[in-house]
Amino acid sequence: MAGQEKPTTAKRHQVFLSYASADKEIAHKIVNELRQRNIHVGFDAYELQPGDSIAQALEKTISASDYLVVLLSPHSVNSQWMQKELGNTLSSDLISRDITLLPVLIADCEIPNFLASYQYLDIRPDIANNVEHLVEKISIIPEIDFSELDSKSFVSLIEDLLKELGFEVIEQSFTGAGGIDIKAEYSHFDPFGKKITALWLVELKLYREERASLESIKYLPQFLLRFPTPSKGLLITNSHLTSAARNWLMSSEAKNRLEIRVIEGTELKRLLLQHKDLIEKYFGKKQTAVR
């Protein structure tokens, strides 16, 4: 795994809430609960009216490492801003700016395709009581501070996370200087009951400020091509790929018929939010609220 840069000074995070105007009542309840826990909710949240541009509003107010909570309901998922703006351009912009998007399901609705891979929070059907569960999730967000980890601890964190996701870790080969850090297997059953097991080769990238550059991500595809056993690749970083690195990786996958899954920083944070035990184990409880 690549080396690290010096930790940067911790910044103050904000939580922004985006919702359809028809969901104003539950949105305001969530905002009030968050503020009662001393969680800083930026602005007065975002109440989206027909024709409003969330991108323009966020560009002016939301900063890197902030959090955007989007309430999912029939009113919001059928709106123009959800179907076009958030899905097409804003989601990629959020990733590039290290803004964590947290979808929250508040009513029965079809999850938009572009959010299908996200780990959303479900506070149905008893919203009044489950708002507390949402607030607890958001309250532990600032505890996920990767600057507290060294390279070896990061490898151990990801190994534990993979196990909780159903992987069987068969080898940890920490080198600290680039290379495959974890070999793991994941099994599932096909529609006819046959067990299928896939081997995953995992490379980890822990950074402080920089992004995963083109040169830094070339090793995994090359290793997969040389590896004697058919395998899938998994690249996990607390940071984000540069646009050049992302484009090159997609081209390499298509050209060489490789399958490489990339988990960048914002998605890694969302995954960890589902596993409070890992947050407590690796990050402790030094902070209890977003300030």
In this structure, are 225 and 130 located in the same domain? no
Q: Name the 3-class secondary structure at 197.
A: strand
In a domain, 33, yes or no: yes
Listed residues 139, 170, 196: the one ending a domain: 139
Domain membership of residue 82 (yes or no) is: yes
Q: What CATH code is carried by the domain that includes residue 119?
A: 3.40.50.10140
> Does residue 188 form part of some domain?
yes
Tens of each residue's pLDDT in the chain, 291 residues: 654 544 444 455 678 888 888 888 888 888 888 788 777 776 444 555 555 556 666 666 665 557 788 899 998 888 776 766 666 555 566 666 667 778 899 888 888 877 776 777 888 878 777 877 777 777 777 778 898 899 999 999 999 999 999 999 888 875 545 689 999 999 999 999 999 999 999 999 998 777 777 888 899 999 999 999 999 999 999 988 888 898 999 999 999 999 999 998 888 988 898 888 999 999 985 444 333
**Residue 8 within any structural domain of the chain:** no
| Residue 59 belongs to domain spanning | 15-139
* Same domain as 56, residue 131: yes
Residue 79 in any domain: the answer is yes
Q: Are residues 160 and 261 in the same domain?
A: yes
Q: Is 278 helix (H, G, I), strand (E, B) or coil?
A: helix
Domain boundary among 96, 124, 139: 139
- Which stretch of DSSP H or E encloses residue 32? helix 24-36
Say yes or no: 104 and 196 in one domain.
no
User: At 251, which CATH number?
Assistant: 3.40.1350.10
Q: What is the DSSP letter of 165?
A: T
Residue that is last in its domain, among 104, 139, 174: 139
> Which pLDDT does position 254 carry in this prediction?
93
pLDDT reported for residue 83: 66
Question: Of 238, 76, 77, which Cα lies nearest the Cα of 148?
Answer: 238
For helices 219-226 and 243-256, angle between their N-to-C axes, nearest 10 degrees? 10
Let me know whether 152 and 276 are in one domain: yes
Q: CA 124 → CA 15, 114, 157, 180, distances in Å?
A: 21, 21, 31, 41
Looking at the structure of the chain, the number of domains it has is: 2
Same domain flag for 181 and 131? no
**1 in a structural domain:** no
Is residue 6 one of the residues assigned to a domain?
A: no
Q: Any idea what DSSP says for residue 239?
A: S
Q: How high is the pLDDT of residue 32? A: 83
Whether 107 and 218 map to the same domain: the answer is no
Q: Which long-range contacts (CB under 8 A, 24 or more apart) does 20-23 make?
A: 20/48, 20/71, 20/73, 20/75, 20/76, 20/79, 21/47, 21/48, 21/49, 21/75, 22/73, 22/75, 23/71, 23/73, 23/75, 23/76, 23/106, 23/107
- Are 268 and 191 found together in one domain? yes
